[in-house]
Amino acid sequence: MSQPFVPLDPDSQLGYLLVRCVDQLSRPWHEALRVQGINPRQFSTLATLAHDPGISQGELARRVMITPQSMSESLSRLIETGLVSRSDAGPGRAAQLELTDAGRKLLKRAYPVVEELNRECFSALTEAERTELARVLRKLIG
């Protein structure tokens, strides 16, 4: 005999709660970064390039958590807008990606905005809770 249907409380489901958090956090991030002329994915790409100069395009895609094809398209836009440059490393070698002066200047303007967003979005958490949340999220994304 089949079990009777018992609805689950969505608030007891970690996936549901995480999706709600992402939805709640996405809007202010998109709005704040749009003012800077970029979106969150582009910010992640620029920040990763700034932090790890010389990173390969494949590793950059992995870190930003998008497909290599999507990264190629995203980088093309960043190159077109003058925020990133790609230099030929020679036959059989991967092209070198780096921030341009314009890319560094944009990040310099965007970092305080991102820091303020982090303060606002996570103000309900103690410092210890923020540290633990970051640890758990890093573990989840691998």
Please give the chain's pLDDT, 142 residues, in tens. 688 988 888 888 999 999 999 999 999 999 999 999 999 999 999 999 999 988 999 999 999 999 999 999 999 999 999 999 998 766 766 778 999 999 999 999 999 999 999 999 999 999 999 999 999 999 998 8
Residue 1 lies in a domain: no
Residue 19 lies in a domain: no
Q: Which domain holds residue 60?
A: 28-141
Residue 120 lies in a domain: yes
Residue 88 lies in a domain: yes
CATH number for 38: 1.10.10.10
Residue 96 lies in a domain: yes
Q: How many domains does the chain have?
A: 1
Residue 7 lies in a domain: no
List Cα–Cα distances, 130 to 14, 44, 100, 104, 133, in angstroms: 17, 20, 33, 28, 5
Alpha helices in 65-126 (DSSP H): 68-80, 101-121
